Amino acid sequence: MPTELPPELTPEGAHYEGSPNYTMQWTFPIALKEAARFAVATLRRAYGAATTASLRYIAFASERYPSPTFPNCRSRASTVDAHDAGAPADVPHTLSGTPATPPLTTARSRCAGLSEMPMKVPHSSRRSTDTRTCVTPLYGDFAANSFAHDHSELAPSHIIAGPALTWSYSRAALLDRCERLYYEHYYGSSCGWYPGADPRTRLSYRLKQLQTPSGVLGHALHRRAVEVALAIRAGERTPTLDEMTARTAAELRAIVFRTPRDATWTRDPRRAPILHEAFYGPMAPHRRSSLLAELLTRARSLHQALLDSPVWRVVAQPGAALLFVEETIIGNVDGVPAMATPDLVLRTPEGRVLIVEWKTGQTADRRQVAWYAQAVQHSLGAPTHEAMDAWIVHLDRACLEPMTISVAELEHFMSWQCTSAKRMRELLADPSRHEPLPRHAFRQSAVPNTQCRSCKMLAVCRAELLETAHVA
């Protein structure tokens, strides 16, 4: 018996850009804007093609004509640490096959493990996961796939074929939710920012950046919390309620009123995201206005709860100190580089280490707090056989939930963590090149009538969902 699909999964209910029944009112300003958009897209494709051709020529020249002055000179494609890429130590790091000099030390390669040499990445230098994990500069990351397919005889076997595998709690949670979503988020969208990427990759990269209203508000509140914490750490004046609300209002207004036809989103969706609702369905102007008014009302109350939080009273006491302000702690989980980014870590006047998590409506996940506790313990050199305390600050309810992660919970979490890292490695066809298995090997574990309805990647999976739904 055919499975009944929600309206947005049917051909009649799909209104997103590119669907058969997507229509728009053509006026002269819109036509002029579309002409300019087409011209810009054409120039970007030409630039991408020229860049790809140049990279292929550089690879060909370095392979056939090695430099006599610098025989061990590595191209930008091969600046990959052997430990980072997971390749054997005897693999050459030059396109010419000559022995390479010791590779440049990356942030991740300096950390053999959490217990050996943990480090943190400052908040100001961090980027989103998709770019932060690409330790291969330029050629080795975004052009490896197309280069290997077109000129396989010029592509050495050790060139990176995908983004570097790193473990994080959010990545593990995404894998548990749906393998296909995991693939599209980390592999299908990889290099989608590159002008020469294929249309499906560019689409997956754009879908990856879609936001929900609650997510946009939550990210804005986290940025305001960072501003307050950094001001306290530097001994400067903390932002006022009106200043924080004004910054958040500007961010919310830009995202709520941005459309899929906006050139800024088409050009750089990571820096100019749009709402999930705006992409998958026509969003009327009155709907946008009412949504913005609702978000601004919530934002003011959340900002007030943030400023009134007891966390700042503890920080202001003599002897207290801020240890981490949304800084990434980098380590190693069963041979896989791992990252943890707690919202706030402070030391109380009594010398107790406290983890703080800001919540704007979500429930606290003890496994996530356990991962932060484990990373903080190793980073500070604290004993790993002790329990860790945390404060979950619910800004929507203006209350504080104390939490203690016991030693037994930490041990149980470490077992689950190793299992998750092993599962991620099993989904790689070639771990040394970070090459994933074919797309069909990642199962669609989500149920079409529930999770797929609000999934970001619905546009790339819709055809398969329709085919699956009509199977008895």
Judge whether 242 lies within some domain.
Answer: yes
Residue 290: domain span = 213-308
Task: Give the span between the Cα atoms of 55 and 138, in whole angstroms.
Answer: 9
Judge whether 363 lies within some domain.
Answer: yes
| pLDDT-based confidence at residue 363 (cuts at 50, 70, 90) | confident
Is 258 in the same domain as 338? no
Residue type, 466: L
Is 279 in the same domain as 341? no
Is 338 in the same domain as 417? yes
Residue range 322-342: mean pLDDT, rounded: 91
Judge whether 202 lies within some domain.
Answer: no
Is 252 in the same domain as 342? no
The pLDDT > 90 percentage for the chain reads 46
Is 284 in the same domain as 355? no
Task: Give the span between the Cα atoms of 293 and 142, in whole angstroms.
Answer: 41
Is 349 in the same domain as 389? yes
| pLDDT-based confidence at residue 28 (cuts at 50, 70, 90) | low
263, 280, 308 — which closes off a domain? 308
- Domain total in the chain: 2
Task: Give the span between the Cα atoms of 333 and 339, in whole angstroms.
Answer: 9
Residue-level pLDDT at 141 = 30
| pLDDT-based confidence at residue 10 (cuts at 50, 70, 90) | very low
Q: pLDDT tens digits for 255-299?
A: 999 999 888 888 889 999 999 999 998 889 999 999 999 999 999
Statement: residue 108 has pLDDT above 50:
no
Q: pLDDT tens digits for 188-236?
A: 998 888 888 889 999 999 999 999 999 999 999 999 999 999 999 988 9
User: What are the beta bridge partners of residue 356?
Assistant: 344, 391
Judge whether 446 lies within some domain.
Answer: no
Task: Give the span between the Cα atoms of 280 and 14, in whole angstroms.
Answer: 7
Judge whether 279 lies within some domain.
Answer: yes
Say which residues have a Cβ less than 8 Å from residue 274's Cβ, sequence separation at least 6: 209, 210, 211, 255, 258, 259, 260, 262, 265
308, 343, 372 — which closes off a domain? 308
Residue-level pLDDT at 161 = 59
Is 225 in the same domain as 283? yes
Task: Give the span between the Cα atoms of 358 and 398, in whole angstroms.
Answer: 11
Q: Are 255 and 219 in contact (CB under 8 A)?
A: no
Is 323 in the same domain as 254? no
Judge whether 125 lies within some domain.
Answer: no
Q: Are 186 and 307 in contact (CB under 8 A)?
A: no
Is 422 in the same domain as 323? yes
Is 398 in the same domain as 359? yes
Gap between the terminal Cα atoms of the chain: 5
SS3 of 45-90: the string is HHHHHHHHHHHHHHHHHHHHCCCCCCCCCCCHHHCCCHHHHCCCCC
Which DSSP letter does residue 385 get? T
Judge whether 362 lies within some domain.
Answer: yes
| pLDDT-based confidence at residue 62 (cuts at 50, 70, 90) | low
Residue-level pLDDT at 215 = 94
Is 275 in the same domain as 344? no
User: Which residue, 398, 381, 400, is CA-closest to 389?
Assistant: 400
Residue 353, domain CATH: 3.40.1350
Task: Give the span between the Cα atoms of 49 and 43, in whole angstroms.
Answer: 10
Judge whether 194 lies within some domain.
Answer: no
Statement: residue 71 has pLDDT above 60:
no
Residue-level pLDDT at 20 = 40
391, 406, 427 — which closes off a domain? 427
User: Which residue, 162, 191, 185, is CA-closest to 48?
Assistant: 191
Is 399 in the same domain as 353? yes
The pLDDT > 70 percentage for the chain reads 67
